[in-house]
Structure 1
Amino acid sequence: MNIEKNSVVTLHYEMYDVNNELIDKTEEPIAYLHGGYDGIFPLMEEALQGKAVGDVVDITLSPDDAFGEQEPELVRVEPLDVFPTDVEVGMMFEADDPETGDVLVYRVTDIADGKAIVDGNHPLAGMRIRFKATVDGVRAATEEEVTHGHAHGEHGHHH
């Protein structure tokens, strides 16, 4: 079966930075519902259209097509007394965005002089990313998966 709209695709991927250094890879395959359900980057989904088990797709995504550009307004300096006493670089915290009401995840990037710098950007924002994906499986989606907009079962979403 070839990948088409409303098929569940499982794949392995490797992700590389601009220097071709491996920054992430799957240990177990991931699954997504193909066909515009936002389960994978749109350009990657487009490249996978029509592919079959064993096919390999290798594409480079600009920041706009991957994790977005860096947004300077998402970097903030906060006094340490608003954090738990054991705050460390690398810790993550959720905070409400006062403008949108969305919950943002901030990462502590530095601590000095009684202050912490927190960054709400994705750690890979602003980077060109190369994805190399190998199709591991393709099957027709169930009606429930199409209704829910995501893959269920092994390597997919569990309710």
Structure 2
Amino acid sequence: MNIAADHIVRFHYTVFEDGGEQLETSRERGEPLAVMIGRGGLIAGLENALIGKSEGDTFEVTVRPAEGYGELREGFKQRVAKKYFRDAARLKPGMQTVLSTSQGPRLVTVLKVGASVIDVDLNHPMAGKTLKFNVEVVDVREATEEEKAHGHAHGPGGHQHD
């Protein structure tokens, strides 16, 4: 079965900064990542590279910032009251944390910690980077009606409902 919209794909990946070091791998978690194609769960460059592939395929893809995490935006910083951070007491400059926003959770990088506020960089940590992915497609299947209604994969590597 070839990967297309509304298919659930489980895959392992390792991502490198282009010409540089390994940034992340799914193999550390043990389980492959599970996503529903066409629902915005992946950066565009990786999702587009998966389309048409099938179980057992391995490939490399280079993703430029425009189809990845976007260009690095200079000055994209904000001062936020400590009360909006779950883990404010342990945060230090350079650490990453998730900040709840009106548009949903956002990964931010701590720049400075003050007495009552924290300055954060709102750029995604991989913004502005050209990324190289090594991908192994573990399996592909059609999404169930429930998964389509929820807009995401269920089960191992996907979302677990109670």
TM-score by length of 1: 0.79
Give me the whole-angstrom Cα distance separating, in 2, the residues matched to 1:3 and 1:58: 16
Q: Is the 8 A contact 1:16 1:131 kept in 2?
A: yes
Match of 1:146 in 2: 148
SS in 1 for 2:19: coil
Deviation of 1:76 (Å): 4.2
Deviation of 1:4 (Å): 2.3
Deviation of 1:79 (Å): 9.7
Deviation of 1:19 (Å): 2.1
Give me the whole-angstrom Cα distance separating, in 2, the residues matched to 1:42 and 1:91: 23
Give me the whole-angstrom Cα distance separating, in 2, the residues matched to 1:3 and 1:93: 31
SS in 2 for 1:157: coil
Give me the whole-angstrom Cα distance separating, in 2, the residues matched to 1:9 and 1:55: 12
Range with bigger deviation, 148-157 or 101-110: 101-110
Deviation of 1:47 (Å): 1.8
- Which runs of 5 or more structure 1 residues have no equivalent in the other structure? none
Match of 1:94 in 2: 99
One-letter amino acid of the counterpart of residue 97, structure 2: M
CA deviation vs aligned residue, 1:43-92 (integer Å, no higher than 9, x gap): 32222222111101211111111111122242246799x99565412153
Give me the whole-angstrom Cα distance separating, in 2, the residues matched to 1:95 and 1:145: 25
SS in 1 for 2:48: helix
Does 2:60 correspond to 1:55?
A: no
Q: Is the 8 A contact 1:10 1:138 kept in 2?
A: yes
**Bigger radius of gyration, 1 or 2?**
1
Match of 1:33 in 2: 36
- Which runs of 5 or more structure 2 residues have no equivalent in the other structure? none
Q: How does 1:73-88 map to 2 (within 5 A)?
A: 73-76=75-78, 87-88=91-92
Deviation of 1:22 (Å): 0.9
Give me the whole-angstrom Cα distance separating, in 2, the residues matched to 1:93 and 1:141: 29
One-letter amino acid of the counterpart of residue 31, structure 1: A
Count of aligned pairs between the two proteins:
152
SS in 2 for 1:72: coil
CA deviation vs aligned residue, 1:14-47 (integer Å, no higher than 9, x gap): 101022321111122000112x211212232222
**Percent sequence identity over matched residues?**
33
